[in-house]
């Protein structure tokens, strides 16, 4: 993610990247852990809304980069091959599964989907 980084990489600075991996290694990747200024990955990551946005941005960027590495075949892109299948399964799929789980377990989204289905049913009667 760093070697073939793009401008949109939320961890493009080596300091942010190092702090992020240190948080993962030390199992200190929660908003509460960000209260310690030394643990902050980005400015104000101790604030819940900033922290949530940071995690969403990192997840979205990684999913997008994995997708690009599968779909594209151009200079400057990392191109997955059969040797990278373990990474895709062990890392990429797990990130995607967790993001989808978080999205579809959201009660506000579920409420909207139920209302939408009710409206569709009513309109198609």
pLDDT digits (tens, 9 = 90+) for 72-124: 777 767 888 889 899 999 999 999 999 999 998 999 998 999 999 999 998 99
Query: Distance (Å, rounded) from C-alpha 73 to C-alpha 107?
Result: 39
- Whether residue 7 is predicted with pLDDT greater than 90 in this model: the reply is no
pLDDT digits (tens, 9 = 90+) for 15-51: 999 999 999 999 999 999 999 888 899 999 999 999 9
DSSP three-state, residue 27:
coil
Output the CA–CA distances (angstroms, integers) from residue 20 to 42, 68, 108, 119, in the order listed.
Answer: 9, 23, 30, 44
User: 10 Å Cβ neighbour count for 104?
Assistant: 10
Contact partners, residue 64, CB within 8 Å, separation at least 6: none
């Amino acid at each position: 993610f760093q070697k073939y980084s793009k401008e949109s990489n939320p961890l493009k600075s080596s300091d942010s990247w190092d702090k992020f991996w240190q948080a993962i290694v030390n199992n200190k990747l929660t908003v509460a852990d960000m209260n310690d200024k030394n643990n902050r990955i980005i400015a104000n990551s101790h604030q819940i809304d900033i922290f949530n946005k940071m995690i969403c941005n990192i997840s979205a960027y990684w999913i997008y980069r994995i997708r690009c590495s599968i779909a594209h075949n151009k200079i400057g892109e990392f191109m997955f091959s059969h040797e990278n299948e373990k990474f895709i399964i062990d890392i990429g799929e797990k990130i995607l599964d967790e993001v989808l789980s978080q999205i579809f377990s959201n009660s506000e989204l579920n409420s909207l989907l139920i209302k939408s289905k009710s409206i569709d049913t009513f309109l198609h009667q």
